[in-house]
Amino acid sequence: MNTIKISLPSSRSALGAGPFGAMIQKEMADHLRSWRFLLLLGLLVLTCLGSMYAALSSFSSLPPSELAKMEFFFLKLFSISDGSLPSYAIFIGFLGPLLGIALGFDAINSEHNNGTLSRLLSQPIYRDYVLHAKFLAALAISTILIFSLTIVVSGWGLLALGIPPSADEVLRILMFTLLTIAYISLWINLAILFSIVFRQTSASALGSLSVWLFFSVFFNMLIDVVAKHLAPKQFLSEAQAVAFQNFVLNLLRFNPIHLFNEATNIILMPSVRSTGALTMEQISGTLPGALPVGQSLLMIGPQLTGLFASTIVLFALGYFLFMRREVRSR
Amino acid sequence: MQNTVIELKELTRRYGDFTAVRSLNLSVHKGEIFGLLGPNGAGKSTTILMMLGLTEPSSGKALVAGLDPARNPLEVKRRVGYLPEDVGFYDNRTGLENLLYTGRLNGIPEKEAQPRAHNLLKKVGLSDAAHKKTSTYSRGMRQRLGLADVLMKQPEIIILDEPTSGIDPQGLRFFLDLLRTLRKEEGLTILFSSHHLQQVEQVCDRVGLFVQGQLRACGSLQELSEQWLKRPNGALEEVYNCILAHQLETEKL
């Protein structure tokens, strides 16, 4: 009797095929084993609890007549708050960068400081594998985290509200989740770039955090000052006022945090039809109502492009610096 | 029969105005232990990096195992094992896990990698510490693990950059014996860079003396002794001092 041996590709060998798979596996395992990951997980769970509490208590404080008139009930879970704590969307917008920075700030320099980088690069792997593996592992971890958080919030909301989300709402929630992940990947790339530039892990952490602080606090103040100086002091027509308003808004859009917030608002609030100022002329004759998902998506096109473009620029810069560097032992 | 496995032709590396390696010509034969000797900062490490394609030469050419590392680094790195100076490991993993990871990076199937890693750990005397995290390893243990790590891919050539710095005398003897056995049993070509004259004298078949980015002398101890000291069986230290003195004289002129 002939025995025929059939070798099935096991799931492990499928992922672990080749050195690149092994590297991603190792990076992800490193993240999952670290204390840092547990801390982040704890922080995100707290976020989820806090914002859910805020959203649900704001629902219960509204009179039934208000509630009956409310549209997109389920979606509000993510964007509403009773004022005691920020809403889920704001929390995530705040913690997302922190998550990205925490996952990337020591990507390259810790390898260098441990003396493992030169050993790694003397193996038969392409040099960009190192960078790709670091980024993809961090991206995978944050994708899993954000998706599970979204599912937990939705599930809890479903239990608490008893109203299932409409297809439109499900799509919007999915879009919001994907948007958040794209936003986090921007910060991962920034952190990896700093980890290439700085030899010290503390310097790269501080560097990325200060960029984040600059954009979340000081950038808008700066634009405010600039706008005040540029503002026309004399007679102003309505069109001029709107144009000036839009100009200031465009300045604000150099801030990735602002881009993310705009996109989030449009996705989570279907009634938002414009991000900028409109003249009376432009809005005359419109009926207040919600936009379909496709239209909202169309509106955040520029914001998404901006976020993706800056992500790619950061990645390319890191790539350029890393590929050209001469790696010596520590 | 002497087969050349590493050949450097007019290899030069400049960093701005500073020339780290100047017109280096060198060939290493198959199955020999070649000692790259020179003080710190003489350009030994830079030469090694160029051999591995980890940095590009400013001019000149290197051929390692018949391949140009600047053009074909992956193939070179598949055949050449490199133990960097002060090697590091992933400290949150055990010694065995570190070796297995290297095996995976080299595309060695898990079934082969496991026994090979255990074998190597036995060979370098780390079987007992195989399941301990590398953060608990002493300096000497790390160097030995580094050697096992280099051998995981079953290389034709191994390049060791200052592998003996900071090891105690006992560990040192073990390490050097290991190198000799490897050469004898597996026919490995070993390039050994060091600034310790005695160690180089003990294990190396041929020696290249490096001073300020230039190869001052190259050959077996016998040849060097006859060339510089005009008598056979001189110690390497004497040769070295003679060369340094010669260097000083030419600088004065």
Q: Does residue A14 lie within any of the structural domains?
A: no
Residue A17 binned pLDDT confidence (cut-offs 50, 70, 90): low
For an interface test with A, give the residue of B78, B97, B105 to mutate (most A CBs within 10 A).
B105
Chain B residue numbers with beta carbons less than 8 Å from the beta carbon of A22 are 101, 104-105
| Among the partner residues A19, A122, A330, nearest to B86 by beta-carbon distance | A330
Chain A residue numbers with beta carbons less than 8 Å from the beta carbon of B77 are 122-125
The yes-or-no verdict on residue A15 having pLDDT over 50 is: no
Residue B2 binned pLDDT confidence (cut-offs 50, 70, 90): low
Count of structural domains within chain A: 1
The yes-or-no verdict on residue A272 having pLDDT over 80 is: no
| CB within 8 Å: B74 and A124 | yes
Range A181-188 average pLDDT: 96
State whether the Cα torsion A307-A309-A314-A315 is positive or negative. positive
Higher-confidence residue of A320 and B226: namely A320
pLDDT value at position B249?
A: 84
Instruction: Report pLDDT digits (tens) over A234-253.
Output: 767 877 888 888 888 888 88
| CB within 8 Å: A126 and B105 | no
Q: Does residue A7 lie within any of the structural domains?
A: no
Instruction: Report pLDDT digits (tens) over B43-73.
Output: 888 899 999 888 888 999 899 988 898 888 8
HEC profile of chain B? CCCEEEEEEEEEEEECCEEEEEEEEEEEECCCEEEEECCCCCCHHHHHHHHCCCCCCCEEEEEECCECCCCCHHHHHHHEEEECCCCCCCCCCEHHHHHHHHHHHCCCCHHHHHHHHHHHHHHCCCHHHCCCEHHHCCHHHHHHHHHHHHHCCCCCEEEEECCCCCCCHHHHHHHHHHHHHHHHHHCCEEEEEECCHHHHHHHCCEEEEEECCEEEEEEEHHHHHHHHHCCCCCCHHHHHHHHHHHHHHHHHC
Range A79-103 average pLDDT: 88
Q: List the one residue out of B129, B133, B163, B136 whose CA is nearest residue B35.
A: B163
pLDDT value at position A228?
A: 87
| Among the partner residues A120, A126, A327, nearest to B74 by beta-carbon distance | A126
Q: How far apart are CA A275 and CA B4, in angstroms?
A: 70
For an interface test with B, give the residue of A12, A119, A126, A128 to mutate (most B CBs within 10 A).
A119
B45 to chain A: nearest residue by CA? A328
Q: Does residue A276 lie within any of the structural domains?
A: yes
pLDDT value at position B245?
A: 85
Mean pLDDT (chain B, rounded): 88
What is the share, in percent, of chain B residues with pLDDT greater than 90? 30
Q: Does residue A330 lie within any of the structural domains?
A: no
Q: Does residue A221 lie within any of the structural domains?
A: yes
Higher-confidence residue of B231 and A257: namely A257
Distance in Å, alpha carbon of B86 to nearest chain A alpha carbon: 7
Q: How far apart are CA A229 and CA B59, in angstroms?
A: 57
Higher-confidence residue of A72 and B64: namely B64
B153 to chain A: nearest residue by CA? A123
Count of structural domains within chain B: 1
Chain A residue numbers with beta carbons less than 8 Å from the beta carbon of B81 are 122
Chain A residue numbers with beta carbons less than 8 Å from the beta carbon of B86 are 115, 329-330
| Domain carrying residue A269 | 20-324
CATH number where B129 lies: 3.40.50.300
Distance in Å, alpha carbon of A211 to nearest chain B alpha carbon: 30
Q: Does residue A144 lie within any of the structural domains?
A: yes
The yes-or-no verdict on residue A12 having pLDDT over 80 is: no
The one-letter amino acid at A166: S
Q: How far apart are CA A257 and CA A92, in angstroms?
A: 12
| Among the partner residues B49, B88, B106, nearest to A326 by beta-carbon distance | B49
Residue A8 binned pLDDT confidence (cut-offs 50, 70, 90): very low
Helix (H) or strand (E) holding A233: none
Q: Does residue A329 lie within any of the structural domains?
A: no
| CB within 8 Å: A125 and B105 | yes
What are B's interface residues with A at a Cβ cutoff of 8 A? 45, 49, 52, 54-55, 74-75, 77-78, 80-82, 84-92, 101-102, 104-107, 146, 149, 153, 161
Query: If phi over 0 gives left and psi between -120 and 50 gives alpha, with beta otherwise, what is residue A80?
Result: beta
pLDDT value at position B244?
A: 82
Residue A109 binned pLDDT confidence (cut-offs 50, 70, 90): very high
Neighbours of A252 (CB within 10 A): 18
Q: How many CB pairs under 8 A join A and B?
A: 77
The yes-or-no verdict on residue A269 having pLDDT over 90 is: no
Instruction: Report pLDDT digits (tens) over B114-147.
Output: 999 999 999 988 999 999 999 999 888 898 999 9
| CB within 8 Å: B86 and A329 | yes
pLDDT value at position A51?
A: 87
- Select the highest-mean-pLDDT range: A77-81, A158-162, B84-88, B150-154: B150-154
The set of long-range contacts for B177-181, using a CB threshold of 8 Å and a minimum separation of 24, is B178/B123, B178/B124, B178/B144, B178/B147, B179/B33, B179/B203, B180/B33
pLDDT value at position A325?
A: 84
Neighbours of B157 (CB within 10 A): 21
Range A226-232 average pLDDT: 84
| CB within 8 Å: A124 and B91 | no
- Whether residue B164 contacts residue B146, with contact meaning beta carbons closer than 8 Å, is answered with no
- Give Cα separations from B125 to B120, B177, B241 (angstroms): 8, 12, 37
The yes-or-no verdict on residue B246 having pLDDT over 50 is: yes
Q: Does residue A10 lie within any of the structural domains?
A: no
Radius of gyration of chain B (CA): 19
Mean pLDDT (chain A, rounded): 86
What is the share, in percent, of chain A residues with pLDDT greater than 70? 93
pLDDT value at position A68?
A: 66
Q: What are phi and psi of B179, to 5 degrees?
A: -65, -40
Q: How far apart are CA B237 and CA A168, in angstroms?
A: 83
Instruction: Report pLDDT digits (tens) over B8-47.
Output: 999 999 988 888 888 888 889 988 999 998 888 788 888 9
Higher-confidence residue of A284 and A211: namely A211
- Give Cα separations from A177 to A89, A181, A239, A312, B147 (angstroms): 10, 6, 37, 20, 47
Q: List the one residue out of A78, A106, A105, A75 whose CA is nearest residue A91.
A: A78
- Give Cα separations from B103 to A76, A111, A121, A207, B84 (angstroms): 51, 18, 14, 36, 18
